[in-house]
Structure formats: C-alpha cells, structure tokens
C-alpha cells in the first residue's frame, strides 16, 4: 500500500529546471563556452557544487577552490533573481489536481529536493499548503544518488520506505529512490528515465491509479 508520495521539486512540481539551466548557461557564456540542454541533463538532481564541477569539466576549465565558491555564488544569485519572480502559475500542469487527490485519500505528501532554495520556491508558488514535510539541501550530507534525502523524508513522515513512492525527473534522483527501497515514477521522457518503475510525461489527467504497481507496493 502506498502511504506517502515524495516529490522532487525542480522539474517535477515546478519548472525551475529551466531557471537552473539559464543560470548555468549564463555562467558558461561568461567563461567563454557553450552549455547545451543535453549537457544540462547531467546537472539535474545534482548538488550546486557538483553541478559546477561538471560544468567546468565540460568547458575544460581549471579553477581554485576559492574561485569555485565564487562561481557557484554567482550562478546562485542569478538563479535566486529568476525564482524570486515565480508565482502559482509556475506549478506544472496537473500538479494541483493530483496533490488534491492525494490529500483527499490521506496519502502523505513530502518534497525532497537537493536544492538549498526549495523553501523560497515553495513559498512563492504556494505549494506549502499541500505538504506534510520538506527535506531540502540544507538538511542532508549526501546528495542524490545517495538515498539519504528519501530515507530522511520517510523517517520524518513516519512511513516505511516500501510504502513510499517517489516522483523524479532526474537519473540521480531515480537511483536515490531505488537505493532507498522505494518505488519510483519518472516524470518526463521515458527514454531518459527508463530506470524508473514507470514513467509519466507530466501530471495531466493523472489519478491514484498511477500508484498501482504490478506485484504491489
Ligand atoms: C535540484 C536541481 C539541481 C540543482 C540542485 C541544487 O536538485 O535539480 O539542478 O543543482 O537542486 O540546487 P540549489 O538551488 O541549492 O543550487
Ligand atoms: Mg528535479
């Protein structure tokens, strides 16, 4: 039985993946190289510092640890500028309806996001009213694909991992969910997210049947 749904935030409930992409692309441009949407897939679900390292690797650029902190800070200030302008309209299609369905059926709702900016996004978009708990990047030591963030969510919810279903748009996140012993539903392109137990393109028209898995949860 599914007793809780744990949602990744960026790219699952809201389209902030786009803002992360714009900010990283802007940083890459300043350093003199191009950063494509395909490159960006590798950054989804990955922590800020690790994302920067991947970006620098793509641009074949070497910098000191101190410069790394400055670059990450610069990217983040642009990103925060973008997300500060967000509102309810940026909740992805079908999400409000699905979260309302979960509320009515007494299924708990958590957000587990690697982002240290998750609180601002939840505030700006009004998603907070649906949530039982939030675990964000400020509360964990080990980033996805480590299962820590999902295990922490399960613990705070008081629901065993086998009764939790995770919704994720990133490969790192799907691996983390599986490592936590949870079922995982990919949100997005099934060719990229084939590791998930099932994949939905988005939440439009999705109802509680999505939580039925062959062999049960
Ligand atoms: C999410 C996003 C990543 C991002 C990470 C850290 O997992 O999918 O692309 O790098 O959060 O976000 P932050 O807001 O702390 O830089
Ligand atoms: Mg994501």
The response to whether residue 75 sits with its C-beta less than 6 Å from ligand 1 reads: no
Q: What is the CA radius of gyration of the chain?
A: 17
Q: How far apart are CA 188 and CA 15, in angstroms?
A: 12
- Tens place of pLDDT for every residue, the chain, 217 residues? 999 999 999 999 999 989 999 999 999 999 999 999 999 988 988 899 999 999 999 999 999 999 999 999 999 999 999 999 999 999 999 999 999 999 999 999 999 999 999 999 999 999 999 999 999 999 999 999 999 999 999 999 999 999 999 999 999 999 999 999 999 999 999 999 999 999 999 999 999 999 999 765 5
pLDDT at site 90 = 95
The beta-strand segments (E) located in the chain are 4-7, 108-112, 133-135, 164-168, 183-187, 198-200
Element (H, E) at 122: helix 118-125
The response to whether residue 45 sits with its C-beta less than 6 Å from ligand 1 reads: yes
pLDDT at site 50 = 93
The response to whether residue 16 sits with its C-beta less than 6 Å from ligand 1 reads: no
Q: Residue 66 burial by CB count (10 A; 0-12/13-18/19+): exposed, middle or buried?
A: exposed
Mutate to test the pocket of ligand 1, among 27, 47, 73, 84 (most ligand atoms within 8 A of CB): 47
All residues at 6 or more sequence positions from 47 whose CB lies less than 8 Å from its CB, including other chains: 114, 137, 143
Nearest to 12 by CA among 147, 199, 203: 203
Name the 3-class secondary structure at 78: helix
Nearest to 109 by CA among 90, 125, 95: 95
Is the CB of residue 103 less than 8 Å from the CB of residue 130? yes
Half-sphere exposure of 95 (CA within 13 A, CB side): 24
Under DSSP, the state recorded for 139 is: S
Q: How far apart are CA 90 and CA 85, in angstroms?
A: 10
Q: Which residues pair with 135 in a beta bridge?
A: 112
pLDDT at site 208 = 97
pLDDT at site 217 = 54
The alpha carbon of 161 and the centre of ligand 1 are apart by a number of angstroms equal to 23
The response to whether residue 116 sits with its C-beta less than 6 Å from ligand 1 reads: yes
pLDDT at site 144 = 92
pLDDT at site 214 = 76
pLDDT at site 133 = 98
pLDDT at site 17 = 87
All residues at 6 or more sequence positions from 145 whose CB lies less than 8 Å from its CB, including other chains: 171, 172, 173, 175, 176, 179
Mutate to test the pocket of ligand 1, among 7, 77, 115 (most ligand atoms within 8 A of CB): 115
Q: Which residues pair with 167 in a beta bridge?
A: 7, 185
Under DSSP, the state recorded for 187 is: E
């Amino acid at each position: 039985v599914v007793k809780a749904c744990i949602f990744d935030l960026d790219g699952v409930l809201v389209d902030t993946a786009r803002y992360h992409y714009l900010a990283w692309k802007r940083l890459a441009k300043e350093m003199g190289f191009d950063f494509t949407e395909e490159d960006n897939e590798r950054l989804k679900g990955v922590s800020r510092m690790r994302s920067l390292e991947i970006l620098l690797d793509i641009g074949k650029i070497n910098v000191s640890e101190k410069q790394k902190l400055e670059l990450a800070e610069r990217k983040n200030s642009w990103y925060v500028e973008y997300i500060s302008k967000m509102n309810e309209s940026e909740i992805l299609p079908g999400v409000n309806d699905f979260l309302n369905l979960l509320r009515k059926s007494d299924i708990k709702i958590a957000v587990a996001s690697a982002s240290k900016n998750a609180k601002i996004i939840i505030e700006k978009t009004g998603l907070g009213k649906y949530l039982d708990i939030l675990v964000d990047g400020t509360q964990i030591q080990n980033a996805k694909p480590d299962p820590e963030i999902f295990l922490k969510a399960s613990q705070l919810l008081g629901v065993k991992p086998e009764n939790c279903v995770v919704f994720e748009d990133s490969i790192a996140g799907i691996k983390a969910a599986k490592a936590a012993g949870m079922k995982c539903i990919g949100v997005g392109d099934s060719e990229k997210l084939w590791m998930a137990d099932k994949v939905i393109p988005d939440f439009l028209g999705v109802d509680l049947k999505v939580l039925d898995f062959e062999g049960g949860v």
